[in-house]
Structure formats: C-alpha cells, structure tokens
Amino acid sequence: MIEEGGHVQVTLYYNDEDQYLLELVDSLAERDRKSRSAVIMCILEEHFERGKRLGEILVDMRAVTTQDVAEALEEQKSGTGSRKVGEILVEKGCVQDETVRRALVVQGRYCRS
C-alpha cells in the first residue's frame, strides 16, 4: 500500500475464478458512472458500516470520538425536544454538517448517492 496525500494505492490480486466479480464491479461502475475503485470502496463501506448507528459511523470515519457521541446521546436524552445526534454534534462543534450528511448517506443508502 502506498499512501499519497490522503489517498491510498492498493494492488488487487485475483485469479481467473474471480474475473466475474470484476466484471460485475465494472458493470456497476459503468451504470453509476464511477470508477472501479470508487465502486469497490462503496462495497467495502457498505459491508463494514451496515446496520450501524450514525454515531458509530462518525467514529469509524474518525470525525468524532466515542466520548463526543456519548455526550451527544446524553444531551439528546435530557433534552425536551427531539434533537438528532448529528445536529447536537454539529452544534457543539464536534463535526462539520457535511460530514454528518456523508455519514447519513452511508447509514441509509450506502453508496447510492
């Protein structure tokens, strides 16, 4: 793996039996107008983030700490309104609004944006 300015270069080794998987990835990439790499990353993201709550995804993204999420959950429980965890984290300055939106896409729709 070679890390270059926030990007990681990975070499993917596969055998003849795996060729059909790359054809499926390429088909999806063409349909969604994405690169092969983008499709593979979306598949990995979906696999690892499936079923997680927003706070867990934000922690996985290294956008917030588990302590930030715990405090936001406590604030949510003690509040009278129905404020969402993402809103609380943004208001507290723990995370940017666009990062929460990205995590919501991952949570709800994975890579279909």
Token reading at 79: 């509040």
Asked if residue 79 and residue 63 are part of one domain, the reply reads yes
Give the pLDDT confidence of 44-86 residue by residue, as tens digits. Answer: 888 899 889 999 999 999 999 999 999 999 999 998 778 999 9
CB 110 within 8 A of CB 49: yes
**110 shares a domain with 57:** yes
- At 110, the pLDDT band (50, 70, 90 cuts) reads very low
pLDDT, position 5: 57
Say yes or no: 25 and 11 in one domain: yes
Q: Is the pLDDT of residue 22 over 50?
A: yes
Same domain, 73 and 29: no
Token match 């997680």: residue?
A: 52
Residues 64 and 113 in one domain: yes
Number of domains into which the chain is organized: 2
Lowest mean pLDDT among 3-17, 26-40, 50-64: 3-17
Identify any residues that bridge with 3 across adjacent strands, giving them in sequence order: 8
Is 77 found in the same domain as 43?
Answer: no
Domain that holds residue 108: 52-113
pLDDT tops 70 at residue 6: no
Asked if residue 39 and residue 69 are part of one domain, the reply reads no
Backbone angles phi, psi at 3, to 5 degrees: -95, 125
Does residue 96 surpass a pLDDT of 50? Answer: yes
Q: Does 60 lie in the same domain as 21?
A: no
